[in-house]
Structure 1
Amino acid sequence: MTETRREVGRAASVIGAITVASRLAGFGRTMVFTWAIGLGTLGTAYQTANNIPNIIFELVAGGALAALVIPLLAAPLARNDPKQVSHIASALLTWSLTILLPVGILLAIFARPIILLLMPEDPNSAATADVATEMLILFAPQLPLYGVAVVLTGILQSHRRFAWPALAPLLSSVVMAGVYVVYGLVSGRTFKADQVSHSEVFLLGLGTTCGVAVLAGCLVFPLRGLRLRLRPAWRLETSIAAGLKSLAIAGMITVGAQQLCQALLIRLANDARGEVPGATAIFTVSQTFFLLPWAVLAVPLATAAYPILAEAFSLGEHERYQRRLSQTGRAVLLLSGLGVAALAGLAEPIGTVLSSVSSDTGEGTQSQLQATLTGLAFGLFGYSVFAIYSRGLYAIGRNKYAAGATSIGWAAGALAAVVLSNALPVADRTLALAIAWSIGMTVIGLALTLAVARHTGAASLAGFPRAALAAVGAAIGAVLAARELIYLWGHADTFYTALFQGVVVGAATAVVYLGLAALIGGAGVVRPVLRRAGIIRASEEPDEPASDEHGPDEPSGADK
């Protein structure tokens, strides 16, 4: 087994362990949010406003920064050039703040018209838009903070320092959960936007921004151990700047398309608030649960592999690149199937747990949560593939192909959202958006897989068809088994009974999934899942040679 194989395994284990804790904290934060703020008009105002800084950040700089940092630092790190590393890191930080500080100010100034783009005026819900506007002004400082967080995360990950970037969301979630608890105690759990006071809005808005400040600020501590000399810098060497443009444009297109789609989904959800007042809150909370298995199962492996993929290509080690991409791709796909089985199979108890926490929800909210979670679940396959294959293409400079494939998927999701929102009853709006989301994710996954096959060689997809068949087949079987177990058990109508039901049925679902995956794809297919869960050691799985003697096609430079 190669050293990089062990290194990725160790890094993924560290990232995974912290990410599990972080996502559990995120789960707790969501539960506290539902308890304190609810899924009604105040929850809709909060979720609408809180999404906007992230959407604007990703459109303006986030995608570019996320795509830039690791590839730009890979070469100077490989040749042990700390001066160049410090200069590039300084320039990225300087430019992110130069761009995002003015944008944050403009966001605060134009908060009202921006809110009305996503939440059209309605005399019956004017208070919701008013509260969302106040919150957005308080959320505006999040923009430069997001920029600092993304750049520092990339710097640390490029140095193989994965722990703190994985820990940062946990600390942020703890702060935000604390803010929600304080709000609930101070306000007496006011759920309606027309009943909340200005001081309570200030508490929620400023407290949430403090959570983002913690997200960025905690990354400063491990940065000191790298001994970088960070100074204001706006200029980069010509050779570096040549590759920067392509990466930046690709990142902006990729993430920008995602955020435009997200903005459309929020607008469509808000259009239904006359009949479903909490549609936006229901959909965004369900998205949080969708991201839980993705972040725990897929992202750690993709994150750990990315610096190694970039390094391998920069050193001309194309066979090593292909082997790493194929192994990580198969593992990510199999693990995403486990997430699909859990999310769709346990949608009923999850919906019960969420709806029972908030006193402003009823049976309708519970059924909407269940349907929305089920609709989102199968998008995990494509979104997990996106996590690794987009990085694989960025690592070899095929940036425009990653951007193009991803944009096609988001466009498909946006089109599906409009069509389904008009085809289905307004009462089913969150289900329509969830299905559209899954359609978009599936298109992204398929398009990126084709791009990887074309631009990196067939060896990068070694074993992928077999793993895909096993993952999809096992996920469908496990979901059906979970639903049947819940049916035989009976509906759990309280928080604790639903939580217990979810744990028991979840364990059974995992066993069924692994068994079916092994039956369909062979015992070797489930090894990545077992290793990721700590049931077997990484050393027990043999390294697989690439099946294609040709490496990734070598671009003469960054894509133009």
Structure 2
Amino acid sequence: MRRGAALMASGTAVSRVLGLLRGMVMVSAIGATGQAADAFAVANKLPNVLYMLLAGGVLNAILVPQVVRAYKRKAGQEYVDRLLTLGFVALAATTVVLTLLAPVLINLYSNFGNPAQDALATTFAYWCIPQLFFYGVYALLGQVLNARGSFGPYMWAPAVNNIVAIVGFGVFIAVFGGWEESGVVEAASWTPGQTALLAAAATLGVIAQAVVLIPALRRAGVHYRPRWGLRGSGLGAAGGIATWTLAGLAVGQLGYLVVSRVASTAPAAAIDDGVSATAVAGIAAYDVAFLIFMLPHSLVTVSLATALFTRLSGQAHDADVDGVRATLSSGLRVVGVFTIFATAAIVVLDLPLTRVVLARATVESADAVSAVVLTMIVGLPAFGAWSMFQRAYYAYEDARSMVPIQVAMAAVVVAGALLSRALLHPSSWVAGAGAAMSVSYLVGAVVAAWRLRRRLGGIDGPRVLQVLARSTLAALVSAGIGGLVLLLLGRGLSTGLMASIIECAVVGTVMGLVYVGALRLLRVRELDSLLLPVLRRLPGRRR
């Protein structure tokens, strides 16, 4: 498990670093706030939202457990072939239909109130929604690879996506200039060439992400052949799981739908109050903040949860309740040790980190995004725990039990976003939605823990809570020292990009060392699960 998690973590780390670079280049091209940035954000997010709604959760819920069992049978590859064929055809048909519905989807997920911005977003959507098919292919092939014990390619493929997009956005800047020189902030100023180049760069990246998995399949011994017919394949039972998974995801997407509409309205509403739209967080700012929020989650939580999921599925299939409980406990403790520190570090370095990511953005844009990052990041530990609990439910192919939890989480997000719009200034609407998102993860984690505790006869709660409490104490000490160092550095540095980079590097290093030292003193052994892959690479530590 550690080897698989380390391999995935390295791929995810590279991919996420490249993802940050991609975001920086994109912001340099079109800005972090403003009409064009928000129009592209809505359009380019649609394939992700649609994929999660129509395929992503279904694949997580049914594919790995089904494939793990299939490869234990003689006719396992035939079953996998039928499943892949069905998936490819369904993805293709769905993508065509949804691409034709681009104008409807843009009106559904945004409320710009500006015809030029609506038209630009719709044009972007025609280019971007086809990404849905290739996201689905990537997920299908990647989950088959994971079930075969080949974890690396699935986690490394997004790096290719980011590289292609970075090159494409770089070409955009080389041809048309950055947002400051080209004047692309306003939607009405865009030309067909600018629209095609920017959107094509994003879509080509997703295509590359899927295609690079094909050679890895052959190396893993998977030789796909299109096969039709599902009778007797056992997929009927999986269909019931998929139905409940879709129900839960649909509920969750209702929450994002409300957030998207509130966020897309904020800049225009702020103008009515005499505030510049580029100084107000909109949907593009929400996406940048979410990118920063997801970075630590992807580095450890996704990698570890993916590596553990195959084990959980096998233990659940074998009715090994003790094994499921032990695996879940291990995942919760290791994820908690990391996410608690990541939360403390990003809270302290919120503004400098945001300024680094938005290297060419205005001071006002960076301030607007940093406020959203802050409200999101406080929910990171709960998000990590909720992700682990989801894997436990999926291992038992029990998507139905999660639906009430997801309804409660979506209700919190919707209520929070609407209350923010009713009570706060438009410049704080997106930050309020981020806070609601954090509360929803806490609600989800607490309720899921309570229900799984009853199902599994406990989740090793006292041990998990003890580790989390000690980690929180270590993080508070680390944050206090880190904040002091940041204050001292701020007296001698400017507020420019280089100063922010120095602050992130110095304070981040100090906080990391203090945290590790405090965990050692508090005897938090889960730290070894995070550091062992690194320690093994040091001279003299190889065995």
| TM-score normalised by L of structure 2 | 0.90
Shift of 1:300: 1.0
Distance 2:343 2:112 in 1: 37
Task: Determine if the alignment matches structure 1 residue 161 to structure 2 residue 150.
Answer: yes
Q: Which residue does 2:91 correspond to in 1?
A: 100
Match of 2:523 in 1: 522
Which runs of 5 or more structure 1 residues have no equivalent in the other structure? 1-7, 541-560
- 1:118 maps to 109
State yes or no: 1:297 paired with 2:300: yes
- Once residues 225 and 307 of structure 2 are traced to their aligned partners in structure 1, the CA distance between those partners, rounded to angstroms, is 28
String of CA shifts for 1:306-329, please: whole Å, max 9, x gaps: 111111222343333322221122
* 1:472–1:329 CA distance, 2 compared to 1 (3 A): same
* Residues 480, 246 of structure 1: alpha-carbon distance in 2 compared, 3 angstrom cutoff: farther
- The one-letter amino acid of 2:342's match is G
The answer to which of 94-103 and 158-167 deviates more is 94-103
- Work out whether 1:353 is the aligned partner of 2:356: yes
Deviates more, 1:457-466 or 1:154-163: 457-466
Q: How far off its partner does 1:262 sit?
A: 2.2
**Cα distance change, pair 22–115 in 1 and its aligned pair in 2 (3 A):** same
1:101-134 per-residue CA deviation (whole Å, 9 max, x = no partner) reads 2322222222222212222252xx3322211110
**Which residue of the other structure, out of 256, 260, 265, is the alignment partner of 2:254?**
260
2:265 to 271, 276, 286: 271
Residue 441 of structure 2 is matched in structure 1 by 441
CA distance in 1, matches of 2:398, 2:91: 27
Amino acid at match of 1:201: T
8 Å contact from structure 2 (residues 286, 372) kept in 1: yes
TM-score, with normalisation over the residues of structure 1?
0.88
Q: Structure 2 counterpart of 1:10, which letter?
A: R
Q: Do the aligned residues in 1 keep the contact of 2:467 with 2:524 (CA within 8 Å)?
A: no
> Post-superposition shift, 1:492?
4.2
Check whether the contact 1:326–1:462 (CA below 8 A) recurs between aligned residues: no
Q: Which segment drifts farther, 195-204 or 490-499?
A: 490-499
Q: Flag the 1:477–1:402 CA change in 2: closer, same or farther, 3 A.
A: farther
Is 1:91–2:71 an aligned residue pair? no
CA-based RMSD? 2.3
AA aligned opposite 1:294 = H
State the 1:82 CA deviation.
5.1
Distance 1:96 1:335, change over 3 A: same
Alignment pair present for 1:251 and 2:242: no
Partner SS for 2:75 = helix
**Separation (CA, whole Å) in 2 of partners of 1:518 and 1:451:** 33
* Residue in 2 that maps onto 1:340: 343
Query: Which residue in 2 is equivalent to 1:432?
Result: 432
Amino acid paired to 1:323: A
> What is the distance in 1 between the residues matched to 2:228 and 2:325?
35
Structure 1 contact 376–435 (Cα < 8 Å) conserved:
yes
Name the residue aligned to 1:232. 226
Answer with 311-320 or 421-430: which moved more.
Answer: 311-320
Which residue is equivalent to 1:30? 23
Greater alpha carbon shift after TM alignment, 182-191 vs 44-53: 182-191
Query: In structure 1, the residue corresponding to 2:525 is in which secondary structure?
Result: helix
Go from structure 1 to structure 2 and tell me whether the alpha carbon gap of 1:19 and 1:487 turns closer, same or farther (over 3 Å shift).
same
SS of residue paired to 1:228: coil
Amino acid across the alignment from 1:18: G
Q: Which amino acid aligns with 2:338?
A: L
Pick aligned residue for 1:143 from 129, 132, 155: 132
Residue aligned with 1:273, SS: helix
- Give 1:53 shift: 1.5
- Please state how far the C-alpha of 1:284 moved relative to its aligned partner: 0.6
- Give 1:379's aligned residue: 379
- Alpha-carbon deviation of 1:450? 1.7
Query: Which AA in structure 2 matches 1:369?
Result: V
Q: Structure 2 matches for 1:539-550, cutoff 5 A?
A: none
- Alpha-carbon distance change, 422 to 514 in structure 1, aligned in 2, over 3 angstroms: farther
Secondary structure of 2:400's match?
A: helix
Cα distance in 2 for partners of 1:400, 1:391 equals 13
- Out of 193, 201, 206, the position equivalent to 1:207 is 201
1:82–1:228 CA contact under 8 A, matched in 2: no
For residue 136 of structure 2, what is the amino acid of its counterpart? Answer: G
How many angstroms does 1:297 deviate by?
1.7
Which residue of the partner structure matches residue 421 of structure 1?
A: 421
Larger CA deviation: 456-465 vs 22-31: 456-465
Change over 3 Å in CA distance of 1:107–1:202 after alignment to 2: same
Residue matched to 2:468: 468
Rounded to whole Å, the distance in 1 between the matches of 2:520 and 2:422 is 41
Amino acid in structure 2 at the alignment position of 1:422: A
User: Per-residue deviation at 1:296?
Assistant: 0.1
Letter in 2 for 1:408: A
Residue identity opposite 1:307 in structure 2: T
Query: Among 499, 502, 512, which residue is 2:504 paired with?
Result: 502
The Cα of 1:384 is off from its aligned counterpart by: 0.8
Query: 8 Å contact 2:164–2:204 — kept in the other structure?
Result: yes
Task: Give the 3-state SS of the residue equivalent to 2:37 in structure 1.
Answer: helix
Tell me how far apart the structure 2 counterparts of residues 483 and 510 of structure 1 sit (CA, whole Å). Answer: 13
Gapped regions of structure 2 (runs ≥ 5):
271-276
Amino acid at match of 1:319: D
* 1:535 CA displacement: 7.8
Moved more, 133-142 or 415-424: 415-424
1:13 paired residue number: 6
Higher mean Cα deviation, 189-198 or 234-243? 234-243
For the structure 1 residues 138 and 536, does the alpha-carbon distance in structure 2 shift closer, same or farther, using more than 3 Å as the test?
closer
**Which moves more between the two structures, 35-44 or 463-472?**
463-472
Q: 152-161 or 52-61, which moves further after superposition?
A: 52-61
Distance 1:406 1:476 in 2: 31
